[in-house]
Amino acid sequence: MTTPPDSEREKQAAAEAAVALVEEGSTVGLGTGSTVAYLLPALARRNLDILCVATSPATEAKARELGLRIQPFDRLDRLDVAIDGADQIDPSGWLVKGGGGAHTREKIVAVAAERFIVIASSDKLVEELVAPVPLELLPFGLHATLRRLEPVALRGVPPSPDGGVIADYLGQIESPEEVAAWLAGAPGVVEHGLFPPGLVTEALVGDGSVVTRLVPGSGSR
Ligand code: A5P
């Protein structure tokens, strides 16, 4: 039997730590990606009476297969908790998300949640955020939008479930706040993958054999 790489064990440990925080009777936003892939079976095993919202068709299919109750996100107007992975976490708690192109739905779900818990392996901790920053763009006027966002590259993947074109901003990120504000204000950008620290309640990061809890703004990292 081969031993899983450290990062996989760390993702699993972080996911299991997050599952322990889910309360009976709560509404839960489920993220997308390889770390969330560990979350879903661990959550299903707890057999709680919870109602979930999924951030991607892949998460929805897997969650249903495991017996989790999924509801479309057009009836609930808030969630108790959302749990999701990240591509990068900087020391102040800024995240880059959207490696799987699901960042628009992920941000909508994270913002709607009372608590947003990030789960990650230790290799996601970075000193400074770097490109790529995932983007979802409106197909209308796509090439004019791309020209204004240079340097940028189309990802060449299928559109999002909402019809958005997935691309990546490839420029410098000297100030995540400024880049986030610029991308948010650019016509044609549906959503970008920079998530501010204010959105993150806590990050649970697998670190060797332990899980470290980081709380943005608390000086815990
Ligand atoms: C999906 O679009 C992403 O935002 C993921 O949440 C993020 O890329 C983390 O993915 P992994 O858990 O696969 O590293």
The secondary structure of 170-187 as a DSSP string is: -S--S-HHHHHHHHHTST
Q: Whose CA is nearest to atom 7 of ligand 1?
A: 86
Task: Please give the number of the atom of ligand 1 that sits closest to the Cα of 11.
Answer: 12
Task: Please give the number of the atom of ligand 1 that sits closest to the Cα of 33.
Answer: 13
Core vs surface per residue 20-51: b (16+ CB within 10 A) or e: eebeeebbbbbbbbebbbbbbbbbbeeebebb
Task: Please give the number of the atom of ligand 1 that sits closest to the Cα of 100.
Answer: 2
Ligand 1 contact, 86 CB (< 6 A) = yes
Ligand 1 contact, 35 CB (< 6 A) = yes
Residue 4 has pLDDT above 90, yes or no: no
Q: Whose CA is nearest to atom 4 of ligand 1?
A: 98
Residue 24 Cα to ligand 1 midpoint, Å, equals 26
Ligand 1 contact, 62 CB (< 6 A) = no
Question: What are 88-146's pLDDT values in tens digits?
Answer: 999 999 999 999 999 999 999 999 999 999 999 999 999 999 999 999 999 999 999 99
Residue 1 has pLDDT above 70, yes or no: no
- At 218 the pLDDT is 80
Residue 209 binned pLDDT confidence (cut-offs 50, 70, 90):
confident
Q: Find out whether 132 and 98 touch, Cβ atoms under 8 Å.
A: no
Question: What are 133-170's pLDDT values in tens digits?
Answer: 999 999 999 999 999 999 999 999 999 999 999 999 99
In this prediction, residues 50-67 reach a mean pLDDT of 98
Give the ranges where 85-186 is alpha helix by DSSP (H): 103-112, 142-149, 176-184
Please name which of 143, 134, 129, 64 lies closest in space to residue 105, comparing C-alpha atoms. 134
- At 217 the pLDDT is 82
Q: How many CB atoms lie within 10 A of CB 146?
A: 18
Task: Please give the number of the atom of ligand 1 that sits closest to the Cα of 97.
Answer: 4
Which pairing describes strands 133-137 and 189-192: parallel, antiparallel, or unpaired?
antiparallel
Residue of 35, 155, 168, 199 to mutate, ligand 1, most atoms within 8 A of C-beta? 35
Helices 36-46 and 57-65: crossing angle, nearest 10°?
30
Residue of 97, 123, 129 to mutate, ligand 1, most atoms within 8 A of C-beta? 97
In this prediction, residues 183-197 reach a mean pLDDT of 98
| Strand arrangement of the beta sheet that strand 152-154 belongs to | 152-154, 165-169, 133-137, 189-192
Residue 105 Cα to ligand 1 midpoint, Å, equals 12
17 is written with which tokens? 């730590």
Residue 151 Cα to ligand 1 midpoint, Å, equals 22
Q: How many CB atoms lie within 10 A of CB 199?
A: 17
Spatial neighbors of 202 by CB under 8 A, at least 6 apart, are: 115, 117, 118, 213, 214, 215
- At 219 the pLDDT is 65
Q: How far apart are CA 114 and CA 67, in angstroms?
A: 24
